[in-house]
Amino acid sequence: MEGTKTVAIYCSKCGKQHPDDANFCMGCGQPFKAGGRPPQSKLKRWEYRDITIEFPDDPGFYWKGGYSIATGKAEPPNDMHHMARNLVYKNIESLTRQGWSLDGTVDTAVDYEIRVVGKGFWSGMPTFRLLGATVKLRREN
């Protein structure tokens, strides 16, 4: 009695068994034959958008001193960063419902605009104002 001979090949990368006429591994996509290509996965395409959010001319966005010698930049106090982040989230809330999200973390997606607005008469320390933020957003296209 003659039977059908079945030959199997095994993926050298993941060990999954396949029929001998397979061109690539169904488990990991490893090609078996020269010129064999794994199935193409759909590439994500992103749309990017920068928006600028102006902060109110409010005493909460002013501070004295706070210049970092290490970074060479004016550094707002931590509580001001928190207040600014909340305003950013509030302003992009409607955009998130349209599929937009921050491109990175808040700290990497937001560039703050800071200006020296004067000097304190008692100390000569500069007064800074946090004017606004530019936020980098993305959504799948």
Report whether 17 contacts 99 (CB < 8 A). Answer: no
CA distance 56 to 10: 65
Question: How confident is the model over 24-51, as pLDDT tens digits?
Answer: 787 888 887 665 555 555 667 889 998 8
Residue written as token pair 């509580």: 79
Question: How confident is the model over 123-141, as pLDDT tens digits?
Answer: 567 788 888 888 889 998 8
Question: How confident is the model over 73-83, as pLDDT tens digits?
Answer: 667 777 887 88
> Among residues 138, 125, 120, 135, which one has the least CA distance to residue 84?
135
Cα angle 111, 114, 117 (rounded to 5 degrees) comes to: 170
Helices (H), the chain: 78-96, 106-109
Q: What amino acid is encoded at 75 in this protein?
A: E
When pLDDT is averaged across residues 98-116 and rounded to a whole number, the result is: 75
Is pTM beyond 0.75 here?
A: no
